[in-house]
Structure 1
Amino acid sequence: MSTLGAVNAAIEKLWPLAGAESWDSPGLAVGDPTAEVTHIHLAVDAVLDTVDEALGMGADLLLVHHPLLFHGAKTVAESTTKGAVIARLVRGGAALIAAHTNADVVATGTSRVLAHQLGLTDQRPIQASAADPTGQTGLGIVGTAESPLTLMALARLLTDILPPTAGGVRVAGDHESVVSTVALCGGAGDSLLDHPEVLGADVYITSDLRHHPASDARELMRLGRGPALVDISHWAAEWLWLDTAAAQLRQAIPDVEVTLSDLRTDPWDFAVVR
């Protein structure tokens, strides 16, 4: 029998909390460490739909990528989204753990999974972890395409790899430009737009690019001083990681069932394009 405390220890061994960014809040959020865990359900987001899915499958632990209490909460009243999620988990007898930036920076993290799906070689972090003397772990990935391809071909490859979302794949750049060096960051990566590894790439793939940072980056691209941009769904990019995480959990905790959510928790339902 595995307790929640033992499972949490295994999770923290796979994705050490020491690797989390200072502003992050991963780890155990809901649950009794002495309670038994027989079934872990994996999802990107702790929302009502994924909680209901986990409880409907008999899971007693929901392991998510995005922390529910990311910015903290002054109340868990059920009139709030966080309170409603927590109440539903507690009533259903399920715990909640998040592995966020601590799961981004490891060698099998979110950006690595996407880089492998794209077939990138010579992979290295955009921003290496200060605590890793090998320089092999950290935020984002930069690598080389197996064969040079056009920006349009890369965008189409991403649409094949990623689950469908209303936002699709958005691109800034000449669709016939040739791409060889690819930088990417799973999740919101505009903080790395000015990083030398990103500026030296042919294209930068990330999510949640805001107007002004994206506009400035596009102008740099037109000056020949920065990469083309590809904006993809935050949820879709990180959803790819769940399969890798599940395989690691099954090996680390063989007596616990592990399942994956295929619910789309991207916040957008449809787009109208004219």
Structure 2
Amino acid sequence: MSVQNQPPRTPTLTQVLECFEELWPQSLAEGWDASGLVTGRPDQPVGRIHFAVDPVQDVVQEAVGAGAQLLVTHHPLLLRGVNSVAATEYKGQLVHTLIEGGCALLTAHTNADSAVGGVSDVLADILGLRDVVPLAPARDGLPEEGLGRVGQLERPMALSDFAARVFGAMPAVAGGVRVAGDRDGIVQRVAVCGGAGDSLFDEVRAAAADVYVTADLRHHPASELREAARLTGGRPYLVEVSHFGSEWLWLPAAAEALDTLLSESGFDVEIAVSGQNTDPWDYVLTPGS
């Protein structure tokens, strides 16, 4: 009997992880990263899955309160080593809340950045880019896998209009969108990187991008890039967005992709995307505010 003719069933965590590996292979994770399963028994049933950017207390409480058996976050909880998960510290408290609530935790970080349909692919698609390729192709992956993306807008547009498009695509956060460049300058070739992307400046320049959309731009790398851009007609321009916002855009697409694959495998799982805004900033002061 084919999978399509069998009644849907609840998968185990192991079976969900197998589907997850197909979509966002662990082999694509950077060597310094801490993606993968953090808590959870392999044989536990998973009937509800919750997606979020950050494993913070409000998100964990939301997932456990919704009866989820698996919380998937983009950012790792244990990226830096800890010596204890006692509930006297916030990371330990999160681990206890998850375990006591019967909810496993799985993180998909740089593997979800590099994979086809990952964070930067979704960002490129939302901004209307075509002929998209990786900025930094994966060493051992497919040609279309790697960090960041670069592609073409359907037609050239002013930097100010493009920045407005970016602003309209992002979740509302305190920091808004910052722009460096001639507001009337014309852009068409666009590079993007969800999350912190100033480590890819060399690749952005090599790709001859007119503008680069990313988050967490530090003063000195950004200043040096802008000074060097004076020799190349002011390009690449910069559009800085919220780290959280640029990666939150991936969640609905990721939830849909996992739901489709689980359904095709004969599983019945409820999947939800967190409504929590986990951007760390609450408000911003600007001249005249």
TM-score of the superposition, structure 2-length normalised? Answer: 0.91
Q: 2-side partners of 1:18 and 1:239: how far apart?
A: 23
Q: 1-side partners of 2:191 and 2:22: how far apart?
A: 28
Does the 8 A contact of 2:28 with 2:141 survive in 1? no
- The aligned runs of 1:83-102 (5 Å cut-off) are 83-102=92-111
Larger Cα Rg: Structure 1 or Structure 2?
Answer: 2
| 1:62 aligns to 2:38 (yes or no) | no
Does the 8 A contact of 1:59 with 1:94 survive in 2? yes
Displacement of 1:199 after TM fit? Answer: 5.9
Correspondent of 2:155 among 124, 147, 158 = 147
Q: Which has the higher contact order (CA 8 A, sep 6+)?
A: 2
Query: 1:270 maps to which residue?
Result: 283
Could you say what secondary structure the match of 1:23 adopts?
A: coil
Q: Which runs of 5+ in 1 are unaligned?
A: none
Correspondent of 1:33 among 42, 46, 49 = 42
TM-score of the superposition, structure 1-length normalised? Answer: 0.96
Does the 8 A contact of 2:205 with 2:236 survive in 1? no
Q: 2-side partners of 1:103 and 1:7: how far apart?
A: 16
Displacement of 1:198 after TM fit? Answer: 5.4
Could you say what secondary structure the match of 1:63 adopts?
A: strand
Query: 1:77 maps to which residue?
Result: 86
| 1:112 aligns to 2:121 (yes or no) | yes
* Aligned residue identity for 1:265: T
Does the 8 A contact of 2:24 with 2:112 survive in 1? yes
Q: 1-side partners of 2:114 and 2:203: how far apart?
A: 16
Aligned-residue sequence identity (percent) comes to 48
Displacement of 1:130 after TM fit? Answer: 1.9
Moved more, 192-201 or 53-62: 192-201
* Aligned residue identity for 2:167: T
Could you say what secondary structure the match of 1:131 adopts?
A: coil
| 1:214 aligns to 2:222 (yes or no) | yes
* Aligned residue identity for 2:269: V
Instruction: Provide the aligned length of Structure 1 versus Structure 2.
Output: 273
Does the 8 A contact of 1:121 with 1:143 survive in 2? yes
Query: 2:182 maps to which residue?
Result: 174
Query: 1:260 maps to which residue?
Result: 273
